[in-house]
Chain A
Amino acid sequence: MFEGTLVDLVPFEDDYATYLESWMNEEAWFRAHLWDRREPHPEDAVKKYIEKMEKNERAALIGYQTKAGDPIGGLIYDHEWSRVRKVEVTFFTGDSRYEGTDEVLDGLLMLARYCFETRNMHRLDAMSLAFDEARIDALRRAGFVHEGTLRQHIRWDGDYVDVELYGLLEDEWPGYAARIEALGLQASDLEPKPKPEKKLEDEKALDEKILAP
């Protein structure tokens, strides 16, 4: 576990793998992966995605959760480029109750902390659909600088939507502790959600339903 102020970073496994089966089919996922085709992700595709990320040395999928252990979503770095020490970062709010909260911002700050202070990156790249205000707000508050707009770059629900590009450089990163002190994060104190039911029980319930007269 890698401890932050409002959230902790944990390996993406166990309950996270179960949650991802629904998260990967929800709006927040597709907003975070704006270039990918919007398509259904059955359980096998979700499993394959997790395995692919585990094997990829230039990328990682990380879980983030409240101090009470309630999973919020995922933090991702991808396409790490060692020669120029650059990496693309994104995040998704699996539990939509946390959308726009300081928990998500702390998740992003922890990801930046990990990339700069542990992985020795020089630059972080981030992007957002132009209408994704919660993401843009989090990026700005974390210190990312707006660097341009790809015009009508993404087909989204009947329209062509602009993509906003952001960057954060190592010499602009004051360190996690300094950034946290300046921001004064507030916990949202949401009730932890019930643990996901075990798959086996789901299937048993389904069997009983089908067999019931």
Chain B
Amino acid sequence: MILLEGLLVDLVPYGRAFQAREHAWYNNESMFWASMGERELLTRARMEQQRREEAEADQPETGVTFGARTKDGTLIGLFGINFLSCYHRVANLGAMINEPAYWGGGYGTDALLLVVDYAFDWLDMRRLWLDTMSSNARVLRQMQKVGFTPEARLRSVALADGQWNDEVVFGLMRDEWPGRDTMIARLGLRAR
């Protein structure tokens, strides 16, 4: 079942097949980048417990999680919204490509364009924002390409491999977004 169809990846329900990959994914380098420097050493039992705790938390769940799947059926990570507010019309985006072999190949950008369009056109958000640590050159480059504006640099937030890194916050307003089709043309993104 494809919810959002891209050129290199499709966004699909984040179901059991994805969850089955989490033990490998959360213990690899992808988590270090996604969590601004964490090195997870998670047992399966601990992951189960975290899942139960999340399910029981009384916080209203406002996130949207898609699984990212390549055209040949490889599950590569997740994309979506960590949390949103319908009254501020603001959504915080989150993403992880957990298979390092798929870093830098345009897969993440393809998925991001889908999520941005989805947040504006379906969820009626008027502002999207996200953050990353200052040593994450791939994401900084991607943000520039896709047209997010750097809005803040929070100093010394993230400890990564013994070094204090800043957190860079990016924002994108709806009236700055030319739409996915225009972005695809501008970036020269093509199906393979």
**Given A148-B169, A160-B126: A153 and B155 interface contact (C-beta under 8 Å):** no
Q: For chain B residues 19-44, which have a beta carbon within 8 Å of chain A?
A: 37-38
Chain B residue nearest to A85 (CB atoms) is B159
Contacts of A169 in B (CB 8 A): 155-156
**Given A83-B38, A148-B169, A150-B171: A155 and B88 interface contact (C-beta under 8 Å):** yes
Q: State in angstroms the CA–CA spacing of A155 and B127 once bound together.
A: 11
Across the interface, do B155 and A167 meet the contact criterion of CB distance under 8 Å? yes
Across the interface, do B85 and A147 meet the contact criterion of CB distance under 8 Å? no
Binding site for A on B (CB under 8 A): 37-38, 85, 87-90, 126-127, 129, 149, 151-159, 169, 171, 173
- Show 6 residue pairs from A and B whose CB-CB distance is below 8 angstroms, ordered by the A residue: A83-B38, A150-B129, A150-B171, A151-B151, A153-B88, A167-B154
Please count how many residues in chain A sit with their CB below 8 Å of the partner chain's CB atoms: 22
CB distance from B178 to the nearest CB of A (A): 18
Q: State in angstroms the CA–CA spacing of A205 and B171 once bound together.
A: 53
Across the interface, do A35 and B85 meet the contact criterion of CB distance under 8 Å? yes
Contacts of A149 in B (CB 8 A): 151-152
**Given A83-B38, A148-B151: A154 and B88 interface contact (C-beta under 8 Å):** yes
CB distance from B134 to the nearest CB of A (A): 12
- The listed residue with most A CB atoms (<10 A of its CB), out of B87, B153, B154, is B154
Across the interface, do A147 and B159 meet the contact criterion of CB distance under 8 Å? no
Binding site for B on A (CB under 8 A): 35, 37, 83-84, 86, 122-123, 125, 145, 147-155, 160, 165, 167, 169
Identify which of B38, B87, B169, B173 contacts A37 (C-beta below 8 A).
Answer: B87
Across the interface, do A151 and B87 meet the contact criterion of CB distance under 8 Å? no
Identify which of A123, A145, A148 contacts B157 (C-beta below 8 A).
Answer: A123
Q: State in angstroms the CA–CA spacing of A165 and B150 once bound together.
A: 13
Contacts of B159 in A (CB 8 A): 83-84
Q: State in angstroms the CA–CA spacing of A169 and B157 once bound together.
A: 10
Across the interface, do A84 and B151 meet the contact criterion of CB distance under 8 Å? no
Q: State in angstroms the CA–CA spacing of A165 and B153 once bound together.
A: 9
CB distance from A58 to the nearest CB of B (A): 14
CB distance from A151 to the nearest CB of B (A): 6
Contacts of A84 in B (CB 8 A): 37, 157-159
Contacts of B151 in A (CB 8 A): 148-151
Contacts of A147 in B (CB 8 A): 152-155
Contacts of B158 in A (CB 8 A): 84
The 7 closest A-B pairs by CB, nearest first: A148-B152, A155-B88, A165-B152, A84-B159, A148-B151, A147-B154, A147-B152
Q: State in angstroms the CA–CA spacing of A5 and B169 once bound together.
A: 36
- The listed residue with most A CB atoms (<10 A of its CB), out of B38, B88, B129, B173, is B88
Across the interface, do B85 and A148 meet the contact criterion of CB distance under 8 Å? no
**Given A83-B38, A83-B159: A153 and B169 interface contact (C-beta under 8 Å):** no
Chain A residue nearest to B160 (CB atoms) is A84
